[in-house]
Structure 1
Amino acid sequence: MDFSLSVEQQMIRDSARDYLAAHSDSAAVRRVTEAGPAHDDALWRAMASELGWCGIALPEAVGGAGLGAPGLVLLQEQLGQRLACVPFWSTVCVAAPLLQASLGPRGSAQWLERLACGEIRAAVVLPDNGGWRYDGVAMTAQAGADGFVLHGNAAQVADAAGADWLLVPARLEDGSAALFLLEPVAFAGDARFSLQPLDTLDRTRTMAALRLDGLPVSAGALLARGDAAAQGLAHAWWHGKLMLAAEQLGAAQQCLDLTVAYASERIQFGRAIASFQAVKHRCAQMMVLIEAARSAVYGAANAWDDDDSSRARPDIAAASIAADDALRFCAQEAVQLHGGVGFTWEYDPQLYFKRAQAASHWLGGAGVALDYIADVSQDADSEPGAGRTA
């Protein structure tokens, strides 16, 4: 598979890198997070209105650029490198594909148009067990007189605080799948609806706990049900997993860049520590893991667009594992190679170390990906003729 970037893709990557370096640098991230978990509203408005990033992967028919997963991973990589404090992953990488897959091209158009222009910030209540199947969905829905009544709790919902739309997968009384759209502002003051912001380890991505205690919603809140809703959740979960890996890849790259810059300036025994062979070897190992993860992420993105998305799942699982390993190793090495100041608040490695620890648990982390690969391998081995040589 050819992983070389087109001229258009290179322009996306380079322009995003330059813009975020200027508008989501360390000082900007710290300003946003010092008061607690929050979003950079100015950056989000610029991304939505000036840069058009929210529609980069969406079809042109709904106002997008139609560049698909390969274009989006390049942008996600740069956002991850700068720890941009915006609800981009939850809105563009999870909510949009959930609506696309659940409602189809025609049914989703009116919703996607609003997402493409950045008018709406969306969050999705993903299964608590880190999987993509509906048996892990925490919410239930019962038919009521004028609609439905929702029950359930979700311990952590990414970017839910401040979201305009909350997409809630739920199980109906007959066990079938359903997808509801809630507008949190409509339930302000309702004791049956609780969305409590959480103060987590990584303040660059907001989390909130959701509780629905017999919340009545109208029949119009139901967007999809049955197989369409179930398949939509799986589609969005795997797409989100891929884009999370791209974020981790970008964060790992920044760990290496910070380390090389510091090692080139830090003088010990009369010379920069970057000249020491031991430091060179450790930086080289960081680079090897990053490049392996980059190949895996780019390959999975191409597979997602080239094939039926379900066939790309093994590639996404492998990319997720590679990106998780790269970020955790590089964040740890960045702290160590910065010496005595590596863990202090004034230096940036601690921000990336926290992201590495938090991201390793999102969407089930590497554990869910490894389990999936093991299951797929077992199924392949059990097929007639498996393991035979020609």
Structure 2
Amino acid sequence: MDFDLSEEQRLLKDSIDGLLKSSYDFEARKKYRAEKGGYSKAIWGKFAEQGLLGLPFSEDDDGFGAGPIETMIVMEALGRNLVIEPYLDTVVLGGGFLRRGSSEQRAAHLPGIIDGSKTLAFAQLERDSRYDLGDVTTSAKKSGSGYVLNGEKFVAGHGDTAGTIIVTARTAGGQRDVKGVGVFVVPANAKGVDTRGYETQDGSRAADIKLSNVEVGADAVIGHAEAGLSIVNQVVDDARIALCAEAVGAMEEALKISVEYIKERKQFGVAIGSFQALQHRAADMFTALETARSMSYLASMASSFTDLDERAKTVAAAKVQIGRSARFIGQSGVHLHGGIGVTMEYRIGHYFKRLTMIDHQFGDTDFHLARIAAMGGVVG
């Protein structure tokens, strides 16, 4: 199978790599984290100027009509540079829901995403839901032609700076029923929305959000008010695919800086990279990286599968391998650096943290392994 990039895709890769190389080194990242909101608005504006924020949207919506491979290219670059801007939350997740929304919803929100003036957050996780997307207790009660939302959501990525929040809420049924989950577009400044933001372990931002009698209109519903879980599953699988690509980029850089370190660090008068045990460890890290990369490619291709069960199974398999490789490479990178690997001053510890967070986003290795088993294994 041909995995070579097209000319347009190579140009995209060169473009984002060039942008991040010139403006996103480790010291610059520290400064961006200290800015209001926890990321650089200037960098976000450059993403918009280069068309990165409009990549997955159709040309009819003034986007570029790009596919999953282009998203993979972008996410790998973001992973290599530990980018903290809300690309996943706004473009992949928020934009993913809106792409499946009405023409009016797309017209109201996509232009702002594309030009960089609007960011979004996905509020799904609840106190006891863990990785179950259908475990929803936040309620959406019918009120006239609209709805009233009540409940609490946790760890919504960049939820403290988003202008719009995508919220899952139960319109019917019990806590874990498949039917009865709706998806709602909620203005972050709506009356009754209380947001508490904080920094996460990997240097990004998240928020806990309380909804108290939040009123929204019928036009806030994406899809059908009682059948939104199928949309959630598809969009979250898109996010998992994007996270796999981001992890590959982060693993690639973690391996690179670890190999550079053992070539330079001397012990007993020689570079520690000359020790056979460390050479074997680096070789094992490379094997884990390439295995993860192949699964990331497969997951990106699975994005276009029409068989949703096969799509979900393939994405789960990719997330399993990504989680295993990420843990091994992250831990090995820290081990090769020794004690300084866990200090704030060295990059490797930050890559380890981000890779650990990626493993747990939308289901860790054990969760997806159990999913695959429940679906009959990877061979259908």
**Structure 1 length-normalised TM:** 0.88
Which of these residues, 102, 108, 111, is aligned with residue 109 of structure 2?
A: 111
d(CA) in 2 for partners of 1:210 and 1:66?
A: 33
Contact (CA 8 Å) 1:130, 1:368: kept in 2 or not? no
State how 1:213-232 maps to structure 2 within 5 Å: 213-226=212-225, 229-232=228-231
Quickly say closer, same or farther: Cα 1:132–1:57, change in 2 above 3 A: farther
Quickly say closer, same or farther: Cα 1:228–1:143, change in 2 above 3 A: closer
Structure 1 stretch displaced more, 325-334 or 11-20: 11-20
Q: How far off its partner does 1:268 sit?
A: 2.5
Q: How far off its partner does 1:105 sit?
A: 6.5
Unaligned runs of 5+ in 1: 382-390
State the one-letter code of the partner of 2:26: S
d(CA) in 1 for partners of 2:352 and 2:35?
A: 20
d(CA) in 2 for partners of 1:341 and 1:124?
A: 36
Quickly say closer, same or farther: Cα 1:378–1:366, change in 2 above 3 A: closer
Contact (CA 8 Å) 1:139, 1:168: kept in 2 or not? no
State the one-letter code of the partner of 1:176: G
State how 1:154-165 maps to structure 2 within 5 Å: 154-165=153-164
d(CA) in 2 for partners of 1:279 and 1:37?
A: 40
State how 1:49-128 maps to structure 2 within 5 Å: 50-101=49-100, 103=101, 108-128=106-126
SS in 2 for 1:209: strand
Query: Where does residue 315 of structure 1 map in the other structure?
Result: 314
Query: Where does residue 176 of structure 2 map in the other structure?
Result: none
Q: How far off its partner does 1:76 sit?
A: 0.3
Deviations 1:7-43 (A, max 9, x none): 2222222322232122221111112335797122111
d(CA) in 2 for partners of 1:285 and 1:208?
A: 37
SS in 1 for 2:88: helix
Deviations 1:116-170 (A, max 9, x none): 333310111124435464x312421112246321111112111111101101121
State how 1:133-148 maps to structure 2 within 5 Å: 133=133, 135-145=134-144, 147-148=146-147
Deviations 1:76-133 (A, max 9, x none): 01101111110100111111122223x2668635533432333310111124435464
State the one-letter code of the partner of 1:116: I
State how 1:3-22 maps to structure 2 within 5 Å: 3-22=3-22
Q: How far off its partner does 1:356 sit?
A: 2.5
Contact (CA 8 Å) 2:13, 2:74: kept in 1 or not? yes
Contact (CA 8 Å) 2:97, 2:222: kept in 1 or not? no
Structure 1 stretch displaced more, 118-127 or 107-116: 107-116
Of all paired residues, the percent bearing the same amino acid is: 29
State how 1:226-265 maps to structure 2 within 5 Å: 226=225, 229-265=228-264
State the one-letter code of the partner of 1:281: H
Quickly say closer, same or farther: Cα 1:216–1:176, change in 2 above 3 A: same
Quickly say closer, same or farther: Cα 1:96–1:309, change in 2 above 3 A: farther
Q: How far off its partner does 1:47 sit?
A: 0.4
SS in 1 for 2:250: helix
Structure 1 stretch displaced more, 159-168 or 58-67: 58-67
d(CA) in 1 for partners of 2:92 and 2:309?
A: 16
Query: Where does residue 38 of structure 2 map in the other structure?
Result: 38
Query: Where does residue 349 of structure 2 map in the other structure?
Result: 350
Unaligned runs of 5+ in 2: 174-178
Quickly say closer, same or farther: Cα 1:29–1:165, change in 2 above 3 A: same
Contact (CA 8 Å) 2:125, 2:155: kept in 1 or not? no
d(CA) in 1 for partners of 2:309 and 2:66?
A: 19
Quickly say closer, same or farther: Cα 1:24–1:202, change in 2 above 3 A: same
**Structure 2 length-normalised TM:** 0.90
Q: How far off its partner does 1:243 sit?
A: 0.7
Deviations 1:31-89 (A, max 9, x none): 233579712211111101x2110111222221222221111011101101111110100
The number of equivalent residue pairs is 373
Q: How far off its partner does 1:232 sit?
A: 1.5
d(CA) in 1 for partners of 2:164 and 2:283?
A: 44
Structure 1 stretch displaced more, 301-310 or 254-263: 301-310
State the one-letter code of the partner of 2:168: P
| Correspondence 1:178 to 2:170 | no
State the one-letter code of the partner of 1:74: I
d(CA) in 2 for partners of 1:378 and 1:323?
A: 17
Contact (CA 8 Å) 1:163, 1:184: kept in 2 or not? yes
Deviations 1:186-229 (A, max 9, x none): 43xxxx321101233222x2111011122233344334324652
State the one-letter code of the partner of 1:323: I
Deviations 1:278-308 (A, max 9, x none): 2211111111111111111111111212544
d(CA) in 1 for partners of 2:198 and 2:36?
A: 9
Query: Where does residue 275 of structure 2 map in the other structure?
Result: 276
d(CA) in 2 for partners of 1:137 and 1:71?
A: 33
